[in-house]
A and B are shown apart, each in its own frame.
Chain A
Amino acid sequence: MDFFYTYIVLAEIYVLLGLSTNLLVGIVGIFSVSQAAVFGVGAYLTAFLVMQTSTPFLVAVLLSSILCIGLNILVTLPSLRVSGDYFVVTSFGIQLLATAVFTNWTGGTGGANGLPGVPAPWIAGHEFVEPSEFAVLATGGMALGCIAFWLIMRAPFGALLRAIREDELAVAALGKSVLRAKVSAAALAGAFAGSAGGLYASFLSFIDPSSFDLDASIFLLTMVVVGGARTLAGSVIGPFVLLALPQILALIDIPSSVAAAARQLIYGLLLIAFMLFRPQGLLGEKL
């Protein structure tokens, strides 16, 4: 059963990341391949706070989210000045920069060897060690994220974000502040990614740069694309489908040396196939 709960918890954490990516890429139309970097910063900061300063878990996650809000605004800021393709390069660059920091700053992140021994969350005298217990926590986090996402999409603010994607100039001409809307969306996406990072670090108790690299960012994008961009349902179903995929692959007899490459290859194929034949994903809207 632990196996099943682990899958549930990870999928729920990735739902938060999916919401983060969906908000930027799907809703506002800012192409970002650096969400894994923000996710990583959330994970490392939570790990640091809990391990070195013995901050309570919830406070640590909150602080990580706040830092990631700031960070994501900073990371998305260039998209206000540069259009589409130039921002792609910036986004790739931010991701590579983050990977360089995670890998080379051995003092803070443990470098390529990773950071072991992140303690399990401790809330109100209860320790969430078992995956089944942690699932409660992750479900709570996911539910909060989904409710926030749903409320925002129904609100006028959600309509404003979608309008910016369709025609930025028209929105500006109506006297709405594009800048403020984009910054708010980036902040929200940062909060999702940061809290997901905190949950991830304390659930696995071990983090290393490979969870937060360019491949991870592409995986996040695949999740959103497969599940379906622009909708809540899409962001929820994407992670559950894609995280089941490695389990199915494990049933097929592939040598372990090519397993990682095969997995990434399949994600790539999914991206191409969905773009060609079903750009709206399973439960989304047309990109």
Chain B
Amino acid sequence: MLWLHLLVNGLVWGCALGMVAVSFSLVFATTKIFHVAHAAVYGLGGYLAWSALKHGMPEWAALLVGIVACAITGTLIQKLLYERLDRRGATHLVILIASLGLSAVMQNAVAAVYTSNVLQFGLPWAARTTAIGGVLLTTAQMLTVVAGILSYLGAMWFAHRTVLGKRMRAVASNPFLAEITRLQPRQVHIAVMAIASAMVAIPGVLVPLDLGLQPFGGVPILLTATIAMIAGGVGSISGAFLVAVGIAVLQNLSLLVIPGEWSIGITFGIFVIFMLFRPRGLFAG
């Protein structure tokens, strides 16, 4: 029954990864910025929620603190860094390097404040297990699944049913046309960064409930999520989410044959080969 356990684990992990992939996809498709610092925003959410909890806040308030703080951080990043660079006519490479720098600053600031040791939330209810179909799931894992599915549906609703979402897609598909039809791309960029940063805070808090917090834990997660986004086709929310779940399941099932410490390496190894032979993504013609 080990494989069933791994399969379920993969699905749970896939929901968390899916949230990261969808949020990154929103940013990347709209702003065209390869927002590496998204990994640091992910990490920040968890740490701030941890602090809020240690200051005696109830759990739901701590989660809210993480989400709101990340939304504000995302807004500030867009306004103070990306937009400023964009106004100065910075090239793609310059913005990318700045994002990489920001990621290093945020992660190391977290490491300096909270030390680089693993921090545990230590919530007894989150670790309590329930048996579902012969597989034990912790409450934190079930929350992750629920949050993942809700986030996915929320993102779909936002992109297709709201005015802002439609503006976002318009800016994504043709920034120039969006500019001259007064859709105000810069405002849309800020809104999208805020929404995506809030969204990435959810797995940022829920995943460490189980696994603990690490200052640099966001990087491999974000990279796996970007793989999902690319393989799923940039701009497709469903593609990003479903491929993320697929990758997570494969990663977990691969534990049956390959020791765990190699799994991240193997994911990227496959991706590199994949990029060599099918660089436009799985679903592209």
The proximity string for A residues 166-193 relative to B, scoring 1 for CB distances below 8 Å and 0 otherwise, is 0000000000000000000000000000
Given contacts A96-B223, A104-B261, A257-B115, contact A271 B97 (CB under 8 A): yes
Q: Given A82-B275, A89-B223, A214-B219: A268 and B268 within 8 A (CB)?
A: no
The total of chain B residues at the interface (CB under 8 A) is: 49
B227 → chain A, closest Cβ, in Å? 6
Across-interface contacts of A287 in B (CB, < 8 A) = 91, 93-94, 97
Q: List 20 A-B contacts (CB under 8 A).
A: A29-B93, A85-B96, A88-B34, A88-B36, A89-B226, A89-B275, A93-B272, A94-B272, A100-B265, A101-B265, A104-B265, A261-B108, A261-B112, A271-B100, A271-B101, A272-B101, A275-B94, A275-B95, A276-B84, A279-B90
Selected from A85, A88, A272, the residue in CB contact (under 8 A) with B105 is A272
- The answer to whether the Cβ of B102 comes within 8 Å of any Cβ in the partner chain is yes
Closest to A104 in B: B261
CA distance A97 to B223 in the complex (A): 12
CB-CB < 8 A to A84: which residues of B?
34, 92
CB of A160 within 8 A of chain B? Answer: no
Q: Inside 8 A of A97's CB, which chain B residues have their CB? A: 265, 268-269, 272
Whole-angstrom distance from the CB of A91 to the nearest CB of chain B? 9
Q: Tell whether, in the assembled complex, residue A218 and residue B94 are in contact, meaning their CB atoms are under 8 Å apart.
A: no
Task: Assess the B97–A261 pair: CB atoms within 8 A.
Answer: no
Q: Mark A69-104 against chain B: 1 for CB-CB distance below 8 A, else 0.
A: 000000001100110111111101110110011011
Least CB distance, A266 to chain B, in whole angstroms: 9
User: What per-residue 1/0 map shows which CB atoms of B266-280 lie under 8 Å from chain A?
Assistant: 011101100110010
Asked if A258 lies at the interface with its beta carbon under 8 angstroms from chain B, I say yes
A86-B100 contact, Cβ under 8 Å, with A100-B261, A265-B105? no
Q: B101 to A268, Cβ gap below 8 A?
A: yes
CB distance from B99 to the nearest CB of A (A): 9
Count A interface residues, CB 8 Å: 46
Looking at the assembled complex, report how far the CB atom of B43 sits from the nearest CB atom of chain A, in whole angstroms.
13
For residue A84, which residue of chain B has the nearest CB?
B92
Assembly CA distance A29 to B97 (angstroms) = 12
**A276 and B86 alpha carbons, distance in the complex (Å):** 10
Residue numbers in A under 8 Å from B34 (CB-CB): 84-85, 88
**B227: chain A residues within 8 A (beta carbon):** 89, 93
Q: Does A25 contact B (CB under 8 A)?
A: yes
Contact surface of A with B, Cβ cutoff 8 Å: 25, 29, 31, 33, 77-78, 81-82, 84-90, 92-94, 96-97, 100-101, 103-104, 214-215, 218, 221-222, 225, 257-258, 261-262, 264-265, 267-272, 275-276, 279, 287
Chain A residues, CB < 8 A from B271: 89-90, 93
The answer to whether B265 and A90 touch across the interface, beta carbons within 8 angstroms, is: no
Q: Is the CB of B116 within 8 A of A78?
A: no
Instruction: For the complex, give the distance between the alpha carbons of A249 and B246 in Å.
Output: 46
**Smallest CB-CB separation from A81: which chain B residue?**
B279
Chain A residue at smallest Cβ distance from B92: A84
Complex Cα gap A122–B94 (Å) = 43
Q: Give the contacting residue for B81; candidates A100, A264, A272; CB below 8 A.
A: A272
Q: Could you list 15 further interchain pairs (A-B, Cβ under 8 angstroms) beyond the known A78-B272, A84-B92, A94-B268?
A: A29-B93, A78-B276, A81-B276, A81-B279, A85-B28, A92-B223, A96-B220, A104-B262, A221-B97, A258-B111, A261-B116, A265-B105, A275-B97, A275-B101, A276-B88
Q: Is B109 within 8 A of A33, CB to CB?
A: no
A241 to chain B minimum Cβ distance, whole angstroms, is 16
CB nearest to A287 among chain B residues = B94
- What secondary structure prevails in chain A residues at the interface with B? helix
Q: Which residues of chain B come closer than 8 Å to A96, judged between CB atoms?
A: 219-220, 223, 264-265, 268
In the docked arrangement, what's the CA distance between A89 and B226, Å?
7
B39-68: contact bitstring with A at CB < 8 Å (1 yes, 0 no)? Answer: 000000000000000000000000000000
In order of increasing CB-CB distance, the 5 nearest A-B pairs are: A271-B101, A268-B104, A93-B268, A100-B265, A268-B105
Select which of A86, A100, A215, A257 is within 8 A of B262 by beta carbon: A100
Query: B76 on the interface (CB 8 Å rule)?
Result: no
Q: Please give me the residue from chain A that is nearest to B91 by CB atom.
A: A287
Whether the Cβ atoms of A264 and B94 lie closer than 8 Å is no
Contact call A77/B100, Cβ cutoff below 8 A: no
Contact A267 B112, CB 8 Å, known A78-B272, A84-B92, A225-B97: no
Give bound CA distance, A275 to B144, whole Å.
37
Residues in chain B near residue A87, CB distance under 8 A: 275
CB-CB < 8 A to A261: which residues of B?
108-109, 111-112, 116, 215
* Bound-state Cα–Cα, A264 to B107, Å: 9
Contacting pair B108 A262 (CB below 8 A):
yes
Q: State the CA gap A87–B230 with chains docked (Å).
A: 11
Cβ B93 vs Cβ A264 within 8 A: no
A-chain residues with CB within 8 Å of residue B95 when the two chains form the complex: 275
Contact of B104 among A31, A89, A267 (CB under 8 A): A267
Whether A270 lies near B93 (C-beta < 8 A) is: no
